[in-house]
Amino acid sequence: MARVLLPKQGGRDRTLTHIWPYRSEQDNHPENGLLLRTDMHTLFDLNLMVIHPDTLAIHLDTRVRRHGYEDLGNLSPSREALRNRWKAWHQLR
């Protein structure tokens, strides 16, 4: 999975990000990837942002929160919204 720049959304570029750092071809698969804005990709690579594996909550280093990312700290997607989207997707099939 190469670093791919995708069309802008809301004025920001998005890239495919390795969850576990790329060390060899065995790390290069879709299950090891996330779609993130380029600025968040950088934070993730610098270990200034992490996503909790069970809750999917975004956790930010306190130094980052003070620089325009206050609203992202400890956010997680709504499980109910994800379930509703999942059901709707299956109804379309």
Query: Would you place residue 2 in the very low, low, confident or very high pLDDT band (cuts 50, 70, 90)?
Result: very low
In this predicted structure, the answer to whether residue 72 has a pLDDT above a threshold of 80 is: no
Beta bridge partners of 12: 9
Domain locations in the chain?
1-46, 48-93
pLDDT at 91: 92
- Structure confidence by residue, pLDDT tens digits, 52-69: 888 888 888 888 888 878
Is the pLDDT at 92 greater than 60? The verdict is: yes
Predicted TM-score of the model (pTM): 0.70
> Which pLDDT score, from 0 to 100, does residue 10 have?
57
